[in-house]
Structure 1
Amino acid sequence: MDISGCCGRKIRFPAVAGTFYPADKDELAQELKSYYKEAESMVKPLEDAQTAMEGSSNATEVTSTALKGAPTALIVPHAGYVFSGAVAATAFSCIPQDAAFDRIILIGPSHCVGFDGAAVDVLNSAWQTPFGEVQIDEEFVKQLSKEKPFKNRPDAFPNEHGLEVQLPFLQFRLKKMPPIVPIILGTTNYNVLKVVAECLKPTLEEGKTLFVISSDFSHYPNYDGAKKADLRLAKAISTGRLYEFVNALEDNDAARIKGLATSACGQAAIAVLMEMTGGDASYSYEHLVYRNSGDSPYGDLDRVVGYSAFAVYKTSEKYSLSQEEMETLLEIARSSIEGKFEGRRLSDAYEGKNLSPKLRAGGGAFVTLNKGNSLRGCIGHFGEDYPIYQMVAQMARAAAFEDPRFGVLRESELGEISIEISVLSPLKRIASADEFVLGRDGIYIVKGYNSGTFLPQVADDTGWSKEEFLGHCSRDKAGLGWDGWKTADLYTYQAVVFSED
């Protein structure tokens, strides 16, 4: 008996349960558990960082993971789970399990019907999966359906798999599943997509909604052709710039890769997201992992489909400290060093201080000691595993007594040194050196077990060009050679720099 319309409620039942993913609840849970476990080994956490010393490649290695919080958006594949399940799980793993969203907006291409515009599901009150019902944010859908680009196309949803396959991942991951807003795009017309983006952008900027963009990548080239096309597209998406994405699509077409039918079936959905975030440098796109169906035991190498996962984060506003906060940290740093000579505990340097919420927050810092015009010691630490005030106290003592390039600081030198502190913003992975701004950004270069960093102010101190800045850091700090940065992972950060002088 079909009671989906009982009491005025209509429910969309699964179209691809039993084909794209298991229809049995317990079997589905076991399969998802295996994908999430596999995802843990598929991508190295992008925030892992090592303690680093300004001017030296011999820093003590201390690894920590900086928690970024919930992403703003994810780009995930929508193939059968045996092909793309682990890639999708890598993206969904970026969501904290206790994350609380007002809603999740799912956007994907239409595979079943053709139409001009966008369709939002105004017919149903909920979507059913083997894990139970997922409610639709009916009030939000009602308001959205009044906007010009959104069409009443109830035929777009019943057989569409692109959004449906995302729901079990979300239900399994989140402790509390919010309501959803399913959107299907039937066009790649930029003018239409731009209006769709304009309608959704205010919701994105509120920061209370997760956007899930559903797209597979290359369709039907051979294994090597897919990798070439997909990684070109992934590099473009990682820039966050829509024109780079469009250029990559055109470059793939121009390359005439045999068998390539499309570079991304959900290119319109990706374009909507990039249009919403475009021009705002606070959004960062992180390419998490890539595979294609040829990597699955169920696929072949002659005709494949590509799968990439991305997480999009919005960084906080430009980091700053008040004059009082800076003075407090300088007092802590000097007291920490003086306390070592007096046999006092490290905590004596900050106990009783007026510590603002910002100083109590986790953050990385470098402490530099200068004697006249010469460096006397500098040690720092990336990560957010200690409050800033504690980090400064620890790094001040380390710079004075643990920097192996110098002898330990003598008490007689206390009056001759000046202290400079650099409080660091979170690390941001960049796709190329084009995103690095000399004089504004610090650079952190990582390849394998080698890493090194230069603080932003090194550019002013040396007068180096960007090429020289990167080359010196790569060779002198990371031990990768002058051009090693070109094949390494690059991260930027900014610093609030202040001193006693």
Structure 2
Amino acid sequence: MVHFDIFHENSDVRGNKGGTTGQGYVRPAAVAGAFYPADRTRLKQLINTQLDYGRSLLKQLEPQLPAGVPKAVIVPHAGYVYSGTTAALAYALLERGRGTVKRAVIVGPTHRVPVRGVACSHAVAFETPLGAVPVDVDAERKASSVLIVNDPTHAQEHAVEVQVPFLQTVFGPDLTIVPLNAGDASPEEVGDVLRALWGGPETVIIISSDLSHYHPEAYARQLDDETIGNIAHSRMPIHPRRACGAYPINGLLDVLVHGLKSAQCETIRETSNEEGEACRTFAAEQFDLRLLGRSTSGDDGVVSLAGKPRSDMNDPDEPVVGYASFAMWQNTNTGIGDETARNTGIATPEDRGGVLLNLARAAIRQHLGIDNEPGNTPDAIIEQNPWLDEPGASFVTLTEHDQLRGCIGTLKTYRSLGKDVSDHAVDAAAHDPRFLPVSPEEYPLLEVEVSVLGKPMPMPVRSRAALEQALQPGKDGLILTDQHGRSATFLPQVWEQLPAPHDFVSHLLAKAGIQASLDWNNGEIECERYEVTAYAEH
């Protein structure tokens, strides 16, 4: 490990064209003219064209995405003509942070000079045709316990460099960067570097990675879609044969799974008791990772959005490189205590329950044409409670004389909690295909329950027996999905009717259209668990 006092002893502020000016070493652009245009005007034109394309795609995707600036993105690093549009989709999303984001921590792999660990360089700036971007040397110094210093691995490496012109364009001249190359390192080691540099809203994390390399496109898409699914479900480690930036990706997933190591959760990996489990749950609920889009080098810059089919292949046998872009949001309100909530004007859980139930009823009344009191319409309730603008996923359940009358919801967060609850309340009353729509005359007979869902987390079980043993009755919501895409979920409340894990799983399989008696031993059924905070009328 190179000590930072020695490493930055003669650092000034990097000069121009890779020289030194008495201010320190400026790392010159190594791949300008190869991976992207060396001419400043042509480079700006290309980036702006690709960002316009990304913005147009984002308009289709944004209704399903959380609000706010992503804390981290995963973007490809090939030549701009191949992967630039895929990267631009994520960078168009990061434009939300212009004026707020001042630092980008960029972590890429090592294609040319291998290292053990995560390496910064002596450079005080990185040069591109758009100008020199200062390196946040103070941040590197503060993270010196988890970094090494290695100039050769940065000298010709393109994975970090190709991100810098996009960042300069999106965030403007006040940006600083922390350029890092991750070589052979464990997910925890890379994760510890990210935790050390995490910062607040002024900092974004850029993970630079392509996917599979030089397989026939038909096969490459299959491999890449599997890798994309593993990343989206935090199944690590990702193997370097599946993503050249596997080490940086695994570091980000380590943060997603194990959290930011708050003072209360320092021993999270070593703890197996209830307190440790609470820490792990807290960590999982801190983040929301979403696929944005995917493509290959054979797609001529056409990006297929998340949830949409891939574009037609030009040549299924053409060897290609795969690309994908992801964004991850941080839930900055997770873990706020009741006292802190009162002091900051954020509703306590008890307050929130009353507001959510009132919102659901107001939405149903409005749908049925029953007059709401002034100031008690859905829009007014949302306006009066700013926390309802936070992203959230919910289910609304209606009962009548203790019998189910409607239940509609979503497992994935893609819009504000207020909008999600009010729309699902109407859907439960009018659009549950199992029941006739609720009539105005029935409204007084309804009882309402609102369930706010935590983030679904993969269960590392490969057999039915292991699943049934791992389930926590009364606590776990469960999602089962088979290899044909058939899927269904039970909320934790269903345990009241089906308290035995075997019966719970059997009925859920049947709900998904799968044989209730199905047994499996090789991971044929994907299992995810989640928890809910349920608010019911009494």
Which residue of the partner structure matches residue 54 of structure 1? none
* Structure 2 unmatched ranges of 5 or more: 1-14, 259-282, 302-313, 337-346, 515-522
Q: Is residue 162 of structure 1 aligned with residue 159 of structure 2? A: yes
Which residue of the partner structure matches residue 197 of structure 2? 203
Superposed counterparts of 1:17-56, under 5 Å? 17-39=32-54
Matched AA of 1:304: V
- State the structure with bigger RCO (CA 8 A, min sep 6), 1 or 2: 1
Residues 350-385 of structure 1 deviation map (CA, whole Å, 9 limit, x = unaligned)? 679995543575756554432212234556689776
On the 8 A contact 2:31/2:158 being kept in 1, the answer is yes
Superposed counterparts of 1:7-18, under 5 Å? 7-18=22-33
Matched AA of 1:311: A
Residue 23 of structure 1 and its aligned partner are, at CA, apart by 2.0
Question: Secondary structure at 2:352's aligned position in 1?
Answer: helix
On the 8 A contact 2:195/2:255 being kept in 1, the answer is yes
Question: Secondary structure at 1:86's aligned position in 2?
Answer: helix
Which residue of the partner structure matches residue 57 of structure 1? none
Q: Is residue 147 of structure 1 aligned with residue 145 of structure 2? A: yes
Of residues 292, 301, 318 in structure 1, which corresponds to 2:296? 292
Residue 403 of structure 1 and its aligned partner are, at CA, apart by 7.0
Within 1, Cα distance between the matches of 2:389 and 2:146? 48
Question: Secondary structure at 1:93's aligned position in 2?
Answer: helix
Which residue of the partner structure matches residue 271 of structure 1? 250
Which residue of the partner structure matches residue 68 of structure 2? 69
Which residue of the partner structure matches residue 498 of structure 1? 535
On the 8 A contact 1:339/1:349 being kept in 2, the answer is no
Residue 423 of structure 1 and its aligned partner are, at CA, apart by 4.2
Within 1, Cα distance between the matches of 2:534 and 2:49? 46
Superposed counterparts of 1:245-394, under 5 Å? 245=238, 262-279=241-258, 280-282=283-285, 283-296=287-300, 301-315=317-331, 317=334, 322-330=349-357, 344-345=371-372, 347-349=374-376, 357-359=386-388, 366-377=395-406, 388=418
Call closer, same or farther: CA 1:97–1:356 in 2, change over 3 Å. Answer: closer
Which residue of the partner structure matches residue 184 of structure 2? 188
Question: Secondary structure at 1:133's aligned position in 2?
Answer: strand
Within 1, Cα distance between the matches of 2:55 and 2:166? 15
Question: Secondary structure at 2:213's aligned position in 1?
Answer: coil
On the 8 A contact 1:420/1:499 being kept in 2, the answer is yes
Matched AA of 1:240: S
Which residue of the partner structure matches residue 214 of structure 1? 208
On the 8 A contact 2:488/2:511 being kept in 1, the answer is no
Which residue of the partner structure matches residue 238 of structure 1? 232
Of residues 429, 436, 457 in structure 1, which corresponds to 2:493? 457
Within 2, Cα distance between the matches of 1:223 and 1:358? 45
Which residue of the partner structure matches residue 272 of structure 2? none
On the 8 A contact 1:333/1:393 being kept in 2, the answer is yes
Call closer, same or farther: CA 1:401–1:273 in 2, change over 3 Å. Answer: closer
Within 1, Cα distance between the matches of 2:431 and 2:115? 67
Within 1, Cα distance between the matches of 2:510 and 2:371? 42
Residue 164 of structure 1 and its aligned partner are, at CA, apart by 0.9
Within 1, Cα distance between the matches of 2:365 and 2:145? 65
Within 1, Cα distance between the matches of 2:257 and 2:491? 28
RMSD, matched Cα = 4.9
Call closer, same or farther: CA 1:372–1:76 in 2, change over 3 Å. Answer: same
Question: Secondary structure at 1:308's aligned position in 2?
Answer: strand
Call closer, same or farther: CA 1:175–1:97 in 2, change over 3 Å. Answer: farther
Within 2, Cα distance between the matches of 1:39 and 1:201? 29
Matched AA of 2:204: L
Call closer, same or farther: CA 1:312–1:416 in 2, change over 3 Å. Answer: closer
Residue 182 of structure 1 and its aligned partner are, at CA, apart by 0.9
Matched AA of 2:248: A
Question: Secondary structure at 1:94's aligned position in 2?
Answer: helix
Call closer, same or farther: CA 1:38–1:420 in 2, change over 3 Å. Answer: same
Matched AA of 1:371: E
Call closer, same or farther: CA 1:353–1:431 in 2, change over 3 Å. Answer: closer
Which residue of the partner structure matches residue 406 of structure 1? 436
On the 8 A contact 1:422/1:496 being kept in 2, the answer is yes
Residues 171-228 of structure 1 deviation map (CA, whole Å, 9 limit, x = unaligned)? 222356531011123x4254xx744543442333756532222223333333344334
Call closer, same or farther: CA 1:358–1:215 in 2, change over 3 Å. Answer: closer
Residue 106 of structure 1 and its aligned partner are, at CA, apart by 1.2
Residues 304-348 of structure 1 deviation map (CA, whole Å, 9 limit, x = unaligned)? 333233333334527995324323444565577779999634644
Call closer, same or farther: CA 1:177–1:424 in 2, change over 3 Å. Answer: farther
Residue 433 of structure 1 and its aligned partner are, at CA, apart by 10
Within 2, Cα distance between the matches of 1:17 and 1:112? 17
Within 2, Cα distance between the matches of 1:2 and 1:175? 19
Within 2, Cα distance between the matches of 1:347 and 1:493? 37
Of residues 16, 20, 41 in structure 2, which corresponds to 1:5? 20
Residues 26-85 of structure 1 deviation map (CA, whole Å, 9 limit, x = unaligned)? 3222222332344467789677xxxxxxxxxxxxxxxx4443433332222221111211
Which residue of the partner structure matches residue 134 of structure 1? 133
Question: Secondary structure at 1:289's aligned position in 2?
Answer: strand
Superposition TM-score, scaled by structure 1 size: 0.70
Which residue of the partner structure matches residue 306 of structure 2? none
Within 2, Cα distance between the matches of 1:13 and 1:326? 56
Matched AA of 1:141: E
Residue 8 of structure 1 and its aligned partner are, at CA, apart by 1.9
Matched AA of 2:398: L
Call closer, same or farther: CA 1:286–1:158 in 2, change over 3 Å. Answer: same
Residue 88 of structure 1 and its aligned partner are, at CA, apart by 1.7
Which deviates the most, 320-329 or 135-144?
Answer: 320-329
Superposed counterparts of 1:438-449, under 5 Å? 440-441=476-477
On the 8 A contact 2:89/2:325 being kept in 1, the answer is yes
Which residue of the partner structure matches residue 86 of structure 2? 87
Question: Secondary structure at 1:221's aligned position in 2?
Answer: strand
Within 1, Cα distance between the matches of 2:86 and 2:367? 51
Within 1, Cα distance between the matches of 2:212 and 2:382? 58
Residue 137 of structure 1 and its aligned partner are, at CA, apart by 0.6
Which residue of the partner structure matches residue 171 of structure 2? 174
Within 1, Cα distance between the matches of 2:200 and 2:471? 28
Within 1, Cα distance between the matches of 2:453 and 2:115? 49
Matched AA of 2:298: G
Which residue of the partner structure matches residue 59 of structure 1? none
On the 8 A contact 2:488/2:509 being kept in 1, the answer is no
